[in-house]
Structure 1
Amino acid sequence: MTRILVPYHLDEHRPGLDVPYEPAVTISRDLAGDDVWERVAPLYADVADAVAGDIRAGAVPLVMSGDCMVSQAVVAGLQRADDGDGSASVVWFDAHGDVQTLETTTSGYLGGMPLRMLAGYRPELVADGLGLRPVPEDRIVLVDGRDLDPPERDYLAASEIRQVFTAELDADAIPPGPVYLHIDLDVVDGAELPGLLFPTPGGPSLSEVGQAVRRVLDSGRVAAIGLGCTWHEGVEGDDGVGAAAADAVRRAFPF
């Protein structure tokens, strides 16, 4: 497994981002452009190239970042490297739905849209530049998603995306094809992990999420992994994450 660090939250460089695993590769560059999509485009192109290269070499890349939007680049790289029909599947662990759109969001937060974008929303924003093809809705599983806004509930109810609780995720729930396994650490109950950007109560424990992740890995079809370290920067004693939380993540996830 190749551990790749992309130390950004959208277009904000976060060189002090705490991550649970020592990266073998760090991808960064100067970002310039009139809007966020233009600024992240070359960064995501570099990530997609690295992911595709690792998969072609027989590795499973683990991409760690400060947000979930980098998933666009990871799936684009997976599709490039796939020898089959390129129909990657997605298993998406998250406390949130991440299926907002620019038209439905009330906060304007772009980090609430990446799963909807993987399913084909507004390809001109990111996907077209990466050569990213839409992931069919029936190849997407949202695990948890306990904190949904009304437009997200409406979309998911009408879509073919399957939503399951962590404990319900078994072999039968894993979609076919090479799998992109995405884990936003805020899927874990907000009381258990300090420093999360968007802590959400009522979620599964780290141990429960780790067990579900193992069940996905045991399928033998995980081709790439994304780990959203969606927490504040910081060291032990500050309001950030610190060594204790990062160590807890390492113990829970078999990476």
Structure 2
Amino acid sequence: MKPSINERLSIIGVAIDLGAGTPGVSLGPAAIRYAGVTDRLESIGYEVKDEGDIVAIKPENPKTEGTNLKNLDEVVRVNTELCDKVSKTMEEGRFPLVLGGDHSIAIGTISGVLRHKKNLGVIWFDAHGDINTDETSPSGNIHGMPVAVSLGLGHEKLTSIGGIENKLDAKNIVFIGSRDLDAGERKVLKEFGITVFTMHEIDRLGMPEVIDRAIKIASEGTDGIHVSFDLDGMDPIYAPGTGTRVPGGLTYRESHLALEMIALTEKVVSAEFVEVNPIIDNMNQTAKSAVALIGSLMGEWLI
């Protein structure tokens, strides 16, 4: 076992649940650390630096005047800090591994990476679309908006994080494991021509074919691939500790195979694992799954 991406790696925790509807996911980074992520990465061969956590502070009033977005200003502050920290990590020649927290943190992660990789491909594992805006979101929860923001859609306080010029190209974004999309999200996905491999496609084609296609889309003409893995992309049988569980998701082995195949490309430049909620987990099972999946993405091989 040896590193196949970058021998120097930084763990960045983001203790936030303000973008989600269920409290407790702010404890995700601690749960993943407790499950042994550092030891796992060091056993693969990485030189690991733990940067600690960016911690969100719950505001007295979650509402922001003029918008239905919840906790907007604090989510913006946290993601701005994360953007800067991810950017600094990459300046130092280190691989940023971000641990959530809710999926709103992808706004900060991706904007930080885009400062260094102008043409970034993204493979997004998730039961949901995360491509709502303040106009389409039925809940106002920002963890359902990071892809939209990274495309330049949504509230200006969010889209300005990292610079309005640093945005993704829709043609290099791939969703995997989708099975719960809002009506507004379906419309945007079709308008932008974003590739979505729902569970239907995974069942029909098989994970190897889906990942081969996803890698091609995310790597064609890009400077690297960002992997964003929401644990609710997996079936709740394997990841019970997440706040937005949807039955019929990825199996444990499908998830590992997907990440192993992506690792083999040696094109991954950043990654995040999000939405681990130990409060509703079963003996830290979901955090343990996250650690094992991180190992697969970072080049852990049996032989």
The TM-score range, normalised by the shorter chain, is: 0.7 to 0.9
**TM-score, scaled relative to structure 2:** 0.73
What is the total number of aligned residue pairs between the two structures?
247
Question: Aligned in 2, Cα 1:241/1:50: closer, same or farther, shift over 3 Å?
Answer: farther
Q: For residues 222-251 of structure 1, what are the alpha-carbon distances to aligned partners after superposition, in whole Å with 9 as ceiling and x for unaligned? A: 1110111x14333xxxx4343333223323
Same amino acid, percent of matched pairs: 23
How far apart, in 2, do the equivalents of 1:13 and 1:124 lie?
28
Q: Offset at 1:14? A: 6.1
Matched, 1:232 2:256: no
What is aligned with 1:28? 54
CA contact (8 A) 1:55 1:78 kept: yes
How far apart, in 1, do the equivalents of 2:85 and 2:94 lie?
11
Q: Secondary structure at the match of 1:101?
A: coil
Matched, 1:124 2:170: no
**TM-score, scaled relative to structure 1:** 0.86
CA contact (8 A) 1:232 1:241 kept: no
How far apart, in 2, do the equivalents of 1:15 and 1:39 lie?
14
How far apart, in 2, do the equivalents of 1:93 and 1:186 lie?
8
What is aligned with 1:138? 171
Q: Offset at 1:206? A: 2.0
Q: What amino acid sits opposite 1:24 in the alignment?
A: D
Q: Offset at 1:105? A: 1.9
Question: Aligned in 2, Cα 1:248/1:233: closer, same or farther, shift over 3 Å?
Answer: closer
How far apart, in 1, do the equivalents of 2:56 and 2:237 lie?
36
Q: Offset at 1:63? A: 0.2
Matched, 1:245 2:253: no
How far apart, in 1, do the equivalents of 2:136 and 2:284 lie?
37
How far apart, in 1, do the equivalents of 2:99 and 2:160 lie?
23
Question: Aligned in 2, Cα 1:209/1:78: closer, same or farther, shift over 3 Å?
Answer: same
How far apart, in 1, do the equivalents of 2:160 and 2:133 lie?
17
- As a proportion of its length, which structure holds more helix? 2
CA contact (8 A) 2:174 2:196 kept: yes
How far apart, in 2, do the equivalents of 1:247 and 1:13 lie?
17
What is aligned with 1:10? 18
How far apart, in 2, do the equivalents of 1:155 and 1:140 lie?
13
What is aligned with 1:107? 139
Q: Offset at 1:199? A: 0.8
What is aligned with 1:215? 261
Unaligned runs of 5+ in 2: 1-8, 39-48, 65-70, 299-303
Unaligned runs of 5+ in 1: none
Q: What amino acid sits opposite 2:170 in the alignment?
A: E
Q: Offset at 1:134? A: 2.0
How far apart, in 2, do the equivalents of 1:50 and 1:190 lie?
32
CA contact (8 A) 1:7 1:13 kept: no
What is aligned with 1:39? 74
What is aligned with 2:99? 64
Question: Aligned in 2, Cα 1:30/1:204: closer, same or farther, shift over 3 Å?
Answer: closer
What is aligned with 1:52? 87
How far apart, in 2, do the equivalents of 1:15 and 1:113 lie?
18
CA contact (8 A) 1:88 1:179 kept: yes
Q: For residues 95-130 of structure 1, what are the alpha-carbon distances to aligned partners after superposition, in whole Å with 9 as ceiling and x for unaligned? A: 111112221222222211111111110261223142
Q: Offset at 1:161? A: 1.0
How far apart, in 2, do the equivalents of 1:232 and 1:224 lie?
22
CA contact (8 A) 2:17 2:102 kept: yes
